[in-house]
Amino acid sequence: MAAAFADLGFAGTYLIYDLQPMILMQRYWLRYSGIPAHLGPDLPRSREAVLGQLVLESSLSSILRHRLDMGQLPQSLFIGTYSLTESDLATREQVRPLMRSFGVILLAFLEAFDSFDNVAYLRALGRWLRSSHQVLVWHKGHDHWYFLAVRFEVGQVHCDAAVNCGNDTLHRTLRFNSSYRLVEKAGCAPGAAVADVPPSPGLDETTSSIEHPSGLTFRMSILEPGGPEDDSDKIGRIRRGTWEAAEDPHIQRILDSDPNCSYPVFVDGGAAFGYYSLLAAQKHPCREVQAFNPHPMFAYAMRLNLEDNARAHRIDPSRVCINRLALSHKQRTLRLAAGYGSSLVNRSHRDITVNGLETAEVQVTSLDAFFRTHVPHEKRVLLVKLDIEGEEANALRGASHLLQGCRVRHWVISPHKQRHQSTVLRVLRDHGYRITFSEFDVEGQPNGMIAAEC
């Protein structure tokens, strides 16, 4: 566990409290792995001596209280995976008086260990903590359980399906009337899970990646399908962390405004290689992303970026859906060219090229039809972003129900034709939205931009 925290970049004080033989073995393996680790008896008897260090203390010692900065405990984590609940009662009582001061407590446990009834013990512990903490207990799998306690001032507890927490997995008796927010897995339409997106033969998978300031990476060949890898403009924009100079501040502000996902859904219309979808998924893991990416090449490009970042544990791909659908005002089949600036064309033009790029047949839907079939009506939407190559006004025509009742909190739209600007503004205002930005000539975006808030 200590090595995992070090790999994740944790640089604070890390105290391990364990049996003497175990701390000697842990010190050996930590040092073998190149992670500095100190035995408590080798350090002065003060909390200053352990600041920023990884220190191993014997559970037979009574020094733990002297190592802790009590003022920092509300911002600290107490973690005990099959340790506290497998100790004798005397050892548990050495630690328990300190636990209420911790901001977050996470225990993994079995309901019974040897002859000790952990359910009875944790029932008493939960009742003792519930005046200062929200307490949640749920099934981890098989005979294993999690006990989570979070101080009220730290924030709301999320019961997330990604860790098997749900109304049906909560412990039947260890319930403490704590409030929590249920976070379900993303409700992807059939074929829209990341792994469902098929490879695209037109995409070079061998190119290197560019790192965004957030730590996310994006593959170079995706930035200009069929173009040179040294596309310095797009590569530079990724490295600087600004893809669209006008849109980025609005989208970042909107995502930051809802850290607890009270409006859980983000709709990324025209997701391309997944820039905004990945940022939203990384920024708040509780966010559900419904990306619309109709062309096979862009959809597969987005899948590769998601998988790269998932392997590096930067995002949870289970909360991102790649819908290989174009958005307009009604359901039909048209053709679309892969590339920036392409547009939908009539299905009858089977061999047509757009800007020198071959087209692919794509399915078209409306936002109302999609939400009616695939998104529960009680789910609210933080943001609908529409950058869909001239179909923005039509997409709003197909969202008459979604526009009602402030179900969508924010819209950020890039009209690709100046004559559509007034149409988009009128529709948004007619449905009670306040326009917070409207320009057709904006920096970094030749298509204009409108931002609206309910």
- 362 lies in a domain? yes
Tell me the per-residue pLDDT of 391-413, one tens digit each, with 9 for 90 and over. Answer: 999 999 999 999 999 999 999 99
pLDDT at residue 444 tops 90 = no
- 170 lies in a domain? no
Q: Are residues 212 and 110 part of one domain?
A: no
- 146 lies in a domain? yes
pLDDT band at 224 (very low <50, low <70, confident <90, very high): low
Domain extent for 6: 1-163
pLDDT at residue 160 tops 50 = yes
Q: Are residues 364 and 301 part of one domain?
A: yes
Tell me the per-residue pLDDT of 42-97, one tens digit each, with 9 for 90 and over. Answer: 999 888 999 999 999 988 777 788 888 889 999 999 999 999 999 989 889 988 99
Question: How high does pLDDT run on average in the chain?
Answer: 87
CATH code for the domain of 11: 3.40.50
**pLDDT at 190 (0 to 100):** 85
Of the three residues 163, 186, 219, the one that is the final residue of a domain is 163
Helix 247-256 vs helix 275-283: crossing angle, to nearest 10: 30
Distance CA(94)–CA(98), nearest Å, equals: 8
**pLDDT at 342 (0 to 100):** 55
CATH code for the domain of 202: 3.40.50.150
Q: Are residues 414 and 294 part of one domain?
A: yes
Q: Are residues 145 and 269 part of one domain?
A: no
Q: Are residues 261 and 114 part of one domain?
A: no
Q: Are residues 244 and 111 part of one domain?
A: no
Q: Are residues 232 and 329 part of one domain?
A: yes
SS in 3 state form for 92-130? HHHHHHHHCCCCEEEEEEECEECCEEHHHHHHHHHHHHC
Work out the number of other CB atoms within 10 angstroms of the CB of residue 261.
19
Q: Name residue, tokens 């529709």.
A: 427
Of the three residues 121, 145, 163, the one that is the final residue of a domain is 163
User: What's the total number of domains in the chain?
Assistant: 2
Tell me the per-residue pLDDT of 326-385, one tens digit each, with 9 for 90 and over. Answer: 999 988 887 776 665 555 555 444 555 555 566 778 899 999 999 999 998 888 999 999
- 341 lies in a domain? yes
| DSSP-derived secondary structure for 329-352 | SS-EEEEEESSTT--EE-TT-TT-
Q: What percent of the chain has pLDDT over 90?
A: 57
Q: Are residues 425 and 295 part of one domain?
A: yes
Of the three residues 109, 142, 163, the one that is the final residue of a domain is 163
- 397 lies in a domain? yes
Q: Are residues 205 and 132 part of one domain?
A: no
- 189 lies in a domain? no
- 339 lies in a domain? yes
User: Which are the contacts of 250, defined by CB distance < 8 A and separation ≥ 6?
Assistant: 412, 436, 437, 449, 451
Q: Are residues 150 and 299 part of one domain?
A: no
Tell me the per-residue pLDDT of 121-130, one tens digit each, with 9 for 90 and over. Answer: 999 999 999 9
Span 432-445, average pLDDT: 84
Q: Are residues 205 and 152 part of one domain?
A: no
Q: Are residues 271 and 134 part of one domain?
A: no
- 171 lies in a domain? no
